[in-house]
Chains A and B, each alone.
Chain A
Amino acid sequence: MNALKIAATGMAAQQMRVDVISNNIANMSTTAYQPRVAEFADLIYQQYQTPGTLSSQTGSTVPAGIQIGMGVRPTTVSMEIVQGALSQTGGDLDLAIEGRGFFEIIQPNGESAFTRDGKFYRDAEGLMVNSDGHALADQITIPNDTNRLTISQDGEVVAYFDNATAGQTIGTLTLNVFANTKGLEALGGNLYRETEASGAPINGAAGTEGIGVMRQGYLEDSGVDVVEEISELIEAQRGYELNSKIITAADEMLAATTRIR
């Protein structure tokens, strides 16, 4: 019986929605997390009678036909590109991006990864690294005797040393944008990787049109809207329940069928 399989696709879809929502809620405090949204589409249709064909009985054209759908399937779990709110932290190496850009990080295997998480640290050699210790592609080395550090909106890193009133530029941070940000592959650890769908990263100076600017002393909050997620969760749960009711009813109908002598 089709209804059993159809309702099963419905349950699987709602289950997936719950999975996506729970991951969003789990990341409600993750720096610069972009919420994901699951989208669905109907499956193929079995055409018992195509609309517009001739009716066998009267020879007239059938107005609507009989098309029975085979259920639902997930199409995308896409990132919603939202600008998260900025939280003030005061950290010299805390950077929030206002705009569409990403920082480039070099992973231990030498591959590039991209992130909007601007929580950076200084490692033993003075290199600017992310929370996992991976270096920024811009390779900023902060000298040992640095007293104070300023990073301008355009990414210029200026170090101030003891007794000196004038700072010294020690490097410039750049940002990357993608033709299709939704096409990035999430690696976990707030990192993304370029794919065929996202296109190659376009590197540019912060402050250029469309790339965005940096805010020192701020971090970008997670873009998750908890209220919205919870209402989505309730919706998904109810959808799951209704689909399971269909399965129960289909089962009862099958039982009735098998009772025929």
Chain B
Amino acid sequence: MDNAIYTMLTRQSGLMREFSTVANNVANMGTTGFKAEHGVFTEFISRLENGSAAGLGGDSLSMGRLGAHATDFSDGGLKSTGGALDMAISGDGFFQVQTNAGPRLTRAGHFMLNADRVLVDPQGNAVMGAGGGEIAIPLEAANIQVGLDGTISSDGIEYGRIGVVTAAPDTLVREGGNLWNAPNTRPLEEAKIVSGFLEQSNVNPVLEMARMIEVQRHYDAGQSLMDLEDDRIRSVAQTVRQMS
């Protein structure tokens, strides 16, 4: 195969993945605390095997490929739910939940109490307090309130404080289920927790539609370029045949 085809293929497969990312953003339009992702294309330079010494040019092939994913960490809109244990973080930070695989971060603050009256997420993972432990609320606590700093209280009695942590964005690995994994986290003291609200997905539908069309058009363009390249090779073959 020819180099032009290789170059196109890396781009086409990158576009396919980018399209999957758009699809995933749109699918998660209604997911609490979801953060949209965008692909970043980078130039990938491959040295050709039969190339001469470096620096002379003409011996390397430049390809555009999907190099990285950038996550949009901007805040999603807040939706009022009225649920006393629904919480949203305004600004920086993540809630921390204890899963079987260890602590994980989440922005989805749709919390509830389990049969042991421990604060958990919808998947049953315990929400970690500022000190790292679970938060249990006894049955007699009738009017549960969550303060701006995450303190959970009822009728003046404090039952615990929700821990909010932060981590470098480049270390966050998405795990699905609204969870993120980060090796190094540090507590965030100045976090602002808004109770009675949930953070909506920060997916911007207009932007996603525009990107969808863009990816689709680029893909089409790539395809027609490949057709042209195919025609070129054909005509070369034909010419060679006629000459011989």
Which A residues have a C-beta under 8 Å from some C-beta of B?
1-3, 6-7, 9-10, 13-14, 17, 37, 39-45, 47-52, 57, 62-72, 75-76, 78, 80-82, 99-100, 177, 179-180, 182-183, 196-199, 202, 209-210, 235-236, 238-239, 242-243, 245-246, 249-250, 252-253, 256-257, 259-261
Residues of A within 8 A of B75 (CB): none
- A261 near B227 with CB under 8 A, answer yes
Residues of B within 8 A of A252 (CB): 216
Residues of A within 8 A of B205 (CB): 238, 242
* Contact pattern, B 156-187, Cβ under 8 Å of A = 1, otherwise 0: 00000000000000111111111000010000
- A1 near B16 with CB under 8 A, answer yes
Query: Within the assembled complex, what's the spacing in Å between the Cα atoms of A50 and B212?
Result: 25
| B185–chain A nearest beta-carbon distance, Å | 14
Q: Is B148 an interface residue (CB 8 A)?
A: no
In the complex with contacts A78-B122, A179-B113, A253-B219, A68-B24 CB distance below 8 A: yes
Q: Which of B69, B114, B141 has a CB less than 8 Å from the CB of A67?
A: B69
Q: Is B112 an interface residue (CB 8 A)?
A: yes
Query: Within the assembled complex, what's the spacing in Å between the Cα atoms of A16 and B132?
Result: 36
Residues of A within 8 A of B239 (CB): none
Query: Within the assembled complex, what's the spacing in Å between the Cα atoms of A261 and B19?
Result: 23
The 6 closest A-B pairs by CB, nearest first: A10-B27, A69-B24, A199-B115, A44-B176, A3-B23, A6-B23
Q: Which of A179, A236, A245 has a CB less than 8 Å from the CB of B212?
A: A245
| B175–chain A nearest beta-carbon distance, Å | 7
Q: Is B147 an interface residue (CB 8 A)?
A: no
In the complex with contacts A75-B177, A76-B122, A65-B223 CB distance below 8 A: no
Q: Is B54 an interface residue (CB 8 A)?
A: no
Residues of B within 8 A of A72 (CB): 27-28, 30-31
Known interface pairs A13-B27, A41-B123, A72-B28; 7 further A-B residue pairs with C-beta atoms within 8 A, sorted by A's residue number: A2-B23, A69-B21, A72-B30, A180-B114, A180-B117, A249-B19, A256-B219
Query: Within the assembled complex, what's the spacing in Å between the Cα atoms of A218 and B22?
Result: 52
22 A-B residue pairings within 8 Å (CB atoms): A2-B23, A7-B27, A39-B108, A47-B173, A50-B173, A51-B170, A51-B173, A52-B170, A64-B71, A65-B173, A66-B69, A68-B20, A71-B27, A76-B122, A80-B83, A179-B116, A196-B115, A210-B139, A210-B141, A242-B205, A246-B22, A260-B226
Query: Within the assembled complex, what's the spacing in Å between the Cα atoms of A250 and B24?
Result: 13
